[in-house]
Amino acid sequence: MEAHVDPERIARARSGDASAFEALVEARVGPMTCMAMAILGREDEARDAVQDTLLTAWRELAALRDPVAFDAWLTRILVNRCRRGLRGIGLRRVREVPVDTVIASDEPTVADHADGVGERQALERAFERLSVDERTLLVLHHLDRRPVASIADI
């Protein structure tokens, strides 16, 4: 999600310029939605989380101390909103990953390719078992391709 941060645009948005704020977040909405979807697992909840995040960011923009940290600040707001969303809708389901879905052989077989859907479902079930913080770390690092130092800032 790390797009170029324009301190001038942030200053204008802080002073109430809605078009400056819109320009700030326009390139970030897609990646934010992907991140929220990965954490929450439901598109409707992800879109709601992004909308709430943008509303909160607009209202709290004056509290942003360092304009260069805009992306980390915005991501923190989104992650916190996703946490509340998971608690509110009870999406964190704990499911066991059946042992028989794990293949012991290192050699791929025709059955391995046919079982790709089953493996994906097993991976999704395992992902659902993770806490919000664990999901967030995986999403930031592997989906959003952020370096560890950026994740630490968030």
Could you write out the three-class secondary structure of 86-132?
HHHHCCCCCCCCCHHHCCCCCCCCHHHHHCHHHHHHHHHHHHHCCCH
pLDDT in tens, 125-138: 777 787 777 877 88
Helix axes 7-14, 18-26, angle to 10 degrees: 140
Higher pLDDT, 98 or 15: 15
CB neighbourhood size of 146 (10 A): 21
Average pLDDT over residues 65-82: 92
* Tokens coding 122: 């097993």
Q: Report if pTM > 0.75.
A: no
Q: Is residue 53 a contact partner of residue 32, using CB atoms and an 8 Å limit?
A: yes
Q: Is the dihedral of CA 34, 36, 39, 40 positive or negative?
A: negative
Taking the C-alpha atoms of residue 135 and residue 83, their distance in angstroms, rounded to an integer, is 10
Per-residue pLDDT for 154 more than 80? no
* Tokens coding 63: 């509290």
